[in-house]
Structure 1
Amino acid sequence: MGKLRKAIALLLAVGITVSVAGCGTGTSSSSVSSASVSDTTNDNHTLYNSLDNFQLYDENGTLLRSGRNAESEDKTMVSTGKYEATKIGLQILENGGNAIDAAAAIGFALGLVEPNASGLGGGGFMTIHLANGTNRFIDFESCAPAAATSSMWTFDEESKQANQSSQNTHQEKNVQNLANHIGAKAVGVPGEVAGMLYALQKYGTQSSKAILDPVIQLANTGFTVTPTFTQELSDSKVRMDGYPEFGKLFLRSDGSAYETGDIFTNQDYADTLGLIEKNGVKGFYEGEVAEKIVNMVNLYGGNLTLEDLKNYKVKDTTPLVSSYRGYQILSAPSPYTGGAALTQTLKVLENFNLSQIGEESPEELSLFSKTFQVVNLDLQKYLQSSSKTSSSSFQNILSSNHAQDLAYWMTQNPNVQVTLPKSSVQVIETESDTSCYSVTDKMGNVVTVTQTVNDSFGSSICADGYGFMLNSVMGDFSTDSTSLNCVSSSKRPLSTMSPTIVLNQDGTPLLSFGIADRTQIPSLAAQILTKVIDHQKGLQEAVNSPRIDPSAIGESKITYEDRFSDDVVQTLSALGYQMTKSDSWDKATGEFQGILFRLDGVLEGAADPRWDGKALG
């Protein structure tokens, strides 16, 4: 987990308690340990539970691993990281909306129920496959303010000296006080509202009122606080102390934390959505909301302006198209690296017969680990090419011939440890919080989205009185001025986010998925894709399977979920890997939400049981 996170025990209720009135945007109802609500109070939320009959956790506050999937024969399916968002998306479909309508509603809903991960103050990507065969990639990633430069941060003296003495011209520097992740100089121009409204207008069928009203209602009625959300709030308490508006939004008026089973309302968020519903994109990027965003950033010493907000533009382009064993892969295009890393990983693995190697065998896991390391090294070299980088060089590293060369090198050097000098790599050690979801409709439209505020609760700066947090996108830039990913005016940073759609040879969809994390997105995608395609697993079975996290750079190190057999672990250790055991269901391996279009015509929605995800169809 990242440096910003601290191991703090879950704050779980141990019995029925008297309801406590919250501050302006939060209300605590009676809290009990099992998400039921006491009927002994006069609270408006008595007997209300936004999870309905879905049992997410037990009486001890432990997440239940079953019941996350869904099946559908009527061609509609939604899978998101929160039950309430999934329910709203399905409601939009049932009311005649298409997948893009539902995706927009889900995006706004997740900003309410998963504010640590995404929201109005963030950005992201949307990959679309329309029923007519058109494929689009909507880029609404947050961007740097016009005045942004790397010199706006102060760097640690130690890293400055290391940079001056190093022979390596590509050198990351440590920003003092993590100011590129926390505070005003971490904030970029939010893109989510513009992105959702653009997709809705261009490819949707419903009005903004139709998709926003259910979210506004939920914000006013409230949602049930889960053990996961309790932990997120607890982990962020230390940052709330430095940013009182943050605490005002997410703590009770007496400064105490909300507990599992409480009902959390956000009337400020509802009012902000009302402004967006009434005034469209101008309701966020101009007027009182925009002024509040700029005022809050300036209050803490930032450089965001009203012109930055007014000038934000959504990019509508084509996705990166590649293939794996005859299937077409649609993912994030250049210059973003998530789609490239997934493409290159799959092209390398395509040179090996995984079905014969054996699922979750030491041989397969070793192959995965080395492939992920080799691809990471190759992409880092590409990123460091800076001015030499071109579209042709990008296509070259994604070619099948290049992948064959990498695979050949791996087979000829089975005992060689893949290393990458740490001094040449941008290593981000803060926690990344992200939302992901997939949706499909009866017409055959498929949408998958990944959206984020970057670090947990973004920059820790709240748009006070408007119910949402501002992103920390500036932390995604490199502090190396020679890097392809260096900071510059109005630039969007590179990202590993890669919402992906897999098509059959006839162009019909096979799989749609998103992954929430930072470095593990390509490796987790490859692990699950190969289980579905090479090992013929169901999607929920693949999502539930134990994972490895080979993300350590410059080491032959594998962190693994504690559900692999001892024989597998011991064999990998004998091969020279540093094996580190993690939780049986480790959240650090990433979060997956997706839809599988099975050959029998049934849709299978899968949601990650490591988190709060739920699929409905």
Structure 2
Amino acid sequence: MGAKDIIRNQKAEKLEAHEHTDSGKYGMAASAIKEATDAGRLILEEGGNAIDAVIAIQLALAAVEGMNTGIGAGGFLVYYDSEKDETKVLHGHSSAPAAVTPDLFIDEAGEMPSFDERSIDARSVGVPGIMRTLELAHERYGSMPLERLIEPAIQLAENEYRVNFLWERTIGLFKDRMGEEAKKIFVPNGVPLKEGDTVRQPDLAKSLKIIRDEGFKAVYEGEIADAIVKTVQERGGLMTKEDLQNYKADIYEPLWGSYKEYDLAFPAPPNGGGFAVAQMLKMLEPFELSQYPPHSWEKYHIIAEAMRLALADRHTYIADPKFVDIPLDGLLNPDYIKERGKLIQLDRRMEEAHGGNPWKYQEGEPVDQPFVNARQEGYETTHFTAVDRWGNVAACTSSIERIFGSGIMVPGYGFILNNDLTDFSPEPGTVNQPASGKFAVSSKTPTIVFHDGKPFFTLGSPGAETIVASVLQVLLNVLEYEMDLEDAIKERRIYNTPDLSIEWQDGIDEKVMEKLKELGYHSDQSFKKVTADDRLGDVQAILIDPETGRTYGAADEPRPGEAEGVDDLPEE
């Protein structure tokens, strides 16, 4: 059993009959919003490559998913170049302005405001990186002019857009996080937009036209940059024009992981999501999970325990490598992972889960850093991906951190600024403390899976730290249980933290959850059922037949997303 068997399990007719899934002979685009997927699929049909498609999708999402991403976002993009047979990561995470210090979130009384208060403070706004990422991707790998790639986004912003259920839901839940400028769009005249309403965003269309005419650099050097700085500084934030001008996106090597006969490419630190999934996969490999039914308590228990251990290591050691010596080789050393895996017992849960001692498995001196058990990150993000007819693969996860970011919309320019600096641990003295020019740890996990050296599977998800739970479990559902892609994404998921703040999706058998309670999971901590309308994550995924190139795509159902395949090529 293996990749060929997984591909045989994909039923093109079934996928094509479902609104969230599809198959395609010449490529695929998938995102959390149909109109953004439309933009990417059209680019693929017109002869654009996977990078062209994800650029078009990201720009379109600025108009149709502006509560989760946009011009003010940061992100990571993993790209496989079929011609060069190489995989790279484009790093566009938001960075801390130069004036940031470790006591960024400590007030004058020496107190730390709540996460909710910090997240709508202008001091939480990081230097956004996603537009520089698109610029770098376009220059290095793109094939179509920016004017064509940005046009769908301009049309979506300039013309009437029909509000979907995601807009209604997020506005209803988070309207109080918005400043007055954002409310003009999302809560016009004090009335929250509802599904079926129409909205126009002329200020955002103006910004997109400036980017079309001047290039992505306008966000960092031109009038948009001036507007960002003015907005942040008027509200007590620290960003300067120099911070924007000095921001550089980067291309670096992936963090490579493996699971049985598969190799996986993830973003490396300061990204923490890729590390966590890579470590969990190796920890879980000896358990041969498929010996337990996919709905069994044994499967969920073993996964939940592995999650506690990996996240404990992440919280203890992962940070911006320019500031912290990360024992990454030790953390991923087979002997260390075997040592950690032995802590997982089928008849009980661990009493406590803390970071281990990876320094035993690599050279270097350990640094005494406190373990930060509880983390708080924004709830949402977005993931999108594309595969083209030549076999190039692009997977991108981008975010303004929490839903509606900092709540601060740039007046006259129509986009919301991020609150990415709340991804730092607010307590001074931790590995992930704020610092000048530093990147906070991110959970974004855009992933490409390879089999026999060829890209086979790509996926990612939003959901803050629950991203690692969603990506891990969909990977296992496909690679270990050999489910078809739609079923693998629909399968109910579980999330657990080192301190036993456990979340589980409605639909997991109540007897399974009772067994986990017997094992001690409920403890005195959170034990939360996540409803069908509030699932863990929102996975977008594409499977690729390595022999024929045919693609199979699926979009999760918490958002109005679609996967759209390409079956026709333009006439030469």
Q: Given the two structures, how large is their TM-score scaled by the length of structure 2?
A: 0.88
Deviation of 1:600 (Å) = 7.6
Matched AA of 1:225: V
- Pairing partner for 2:469 from 523, 532, 535: 523
- Pairing partner for 1:350 from 261, 266, 285: 285
Q: Are 1:606 and 1:615, in contact at CA under 8 Å, matched by a contact in 2?
A: yes
Q: Are 1:156 and 1:175, in contact at CA under 8 Å, matched by a contact in 2?
A: no
Q: Are 2:445 and 2:460, in contact at CA under 8 Å, matched by a contact in 1?
A: yes
- The within-5 A match list for 1:66-85 is 67-72=19-24, 74-85=25-36
Distance 1:151 1:416, change over 3 A: closer
Q: Given the two structures, how large is their TM-score scaled by the length of structure 1?
A: 0.81
Counterpart in 1 of 2:447? 500
Q: Do residues 205 (structure 1) and 143 (structure 2) align?
A: yes
- CA offsets per residue over residues 330-382 of structure 1, 9 Å max, x none? 00112321111011000000111111122121111110111111112223332
Counterpart in 2 of 1:577? 521
CA distance, structure 2, for counterparts of residue 282 and residue 419 of structure 1: 45
- Pairing partner for 1:546 from 474, 478, 492: 492
CA distance, structure 1, for counterparts of residue 468 and residue 114 of structure 2: 30
- CA offsets per residue over residues 16-74 of structure 1, 9 Å max, x none? xxxxxxxxxxxxxxxxxxxxxxxxxxxxxxxxxxxxxxxxxxxxxxxxx95211112x1
Deviation of 1:480 (Å) = 2.6
Q: Do residues 416 (structure 1) and 350 (structure 2) align?
A: yes
CA distance, structure 2, for counterparts of residue 237 and residue 412 of structure 1: 44
State the secondary structure of the residue aligned to 1:511. strand
State the secondary structure of the residue aligned to 1:481. coil
Matched AA of 1:568: V
Q: Do residues 613 (structure 1) and 561 (structure 2) align?
A: yes
Q: Are 2:395 and 2:460, in contact at CA under 8 Å, matched by a contact in 1?
A: yes
Q: Do residues 298 (structure 1) and 227 (structure 2) align?
A: no
- The within-5 A match list for 1:127-142 is 127-132=78-83, 133-142=85-94
Q: Are 2:220 and 2:245, in contact at CA under 8 Å, matched by a contact in 1?
A: yes
CA distance, structure 1, for counterparts of residue 259 and residue 240 of structure 2: 45
State the secondary structure of the residue aligned to 1:591. coil
State the secondary structure of the residue aligned to 1:126. strand
Q: Do residues 312 (structure 1) and 247 (structure 2) align?
A: yes
**Aligned sequence identity (%):** 31
The runs of at least 4 consecutive aligned structure 1 residues that moved more than 6 Å come to 384-388
- Pairing partner for 1:559 from 503, 507, 511: 503
Matched AA of 1:207: P
- CA offsets per residue over residues 297-343 of structure 1, 9 Å max, x none? 11111121111111110011111111111201000112321111011
Q: CA RMSD in A?
A: 2.4
Matched AA of 1:197: E
CA distance, structure 1, for counterparts of residue 466 and residue 104 of structure 2: 30
Counterpart in 2 of 1:450? 397
State the secondary structure of the residue aligned to 2:58. helix
- The within-5 A match list for 1:568-607 is 568-578=512-522, 580=527, 582-585=529-532, 587-598=534-545, 601=548, 602-607=550-555
Deviation of 1:120 (Å) = 0.2
- CA offsets per residue over residues 114-165 of structure 1, 9 Å max, x none? 11111101110000011131101000111111111133433496xx6xxxxx
- Pairing partner for 1:381 from 313, 316, 321: 316
Q: Are 1:369 and 1:550, in contact at CA under 8 Å, matched by a contact in 2?
A: yes
Distance 1:146 1:389, change over 3 A: closer
- CA offsets per residue over residues 263-303 of structure 1, 9 Å max, x none? 22212111111111111133221222111111111111112
Q: Are 1:179 and 1:185, in contact at CA under 8 Å, matched by a contact in 2?
A: no
- Pairing partner for 1:471 from 414, 418, 421: 418
- CA offsets per residue over residues 177-224 of structure 1, 9 Å max, x none? 745311211111111111112101111101110101121112112322
Q: Do residues 118 (structure 1) and 66 (structure 2) align?
A: no
Counterpart in 1 of 2:4? none
Q: Which runs of 5+ in 2 are unaligned?
A: 1-16, 356-369, 566-572
Counterpart in 1 of 2:190? 255
Matched AA of 1:135: T
Counterpart in 1 of 2:122? 184
Distance 1:576 1:126, change over 3 A: same
- Pairing partner for 1:537 from 483, 497, 522: 483
CA distance, structure 1, for counterparts of residue 426 and residue 156 of structure 2: 41
Distance 1:270 1:426, change over 3 A: farther
Q: Which runs of 5+ in 1 are unaligned?
A: 1-64, 161-172
Counterpart in 2 of 1:486? 433
CA distance, structure 1, for counterparts of residue 103 and residue 480 of structure 2: 48
Equivalences, count: 530
Matched AA of 1:527: Q
Q: Are 2:270 and 2:439, in contact at CA under 8 Å, matched by a contact in 1?
A: no
Distance 1:296 1:416, change over 3 A: closer
Matched AA of 2:20: R
Q: Are 1:561 and 1:586, in contact at CA under 8 Å, matched by a contact in 2?
A: no
Q: Are 1:179 and 1:186, in contact at CA under 8 Å, matched by a contact in 2?
A: no
Distance 1:156 1:513, change over 3 A: farther
- CA offsets per residue over residues 561-587 of structure 1, 9 Å max, x none? 221223322322232222945244253
Matched AA of 1:368: I
Counterpart in 1 of 2:457? 511
Q: Of the two, which has the highest radius of gyration?
A: 1
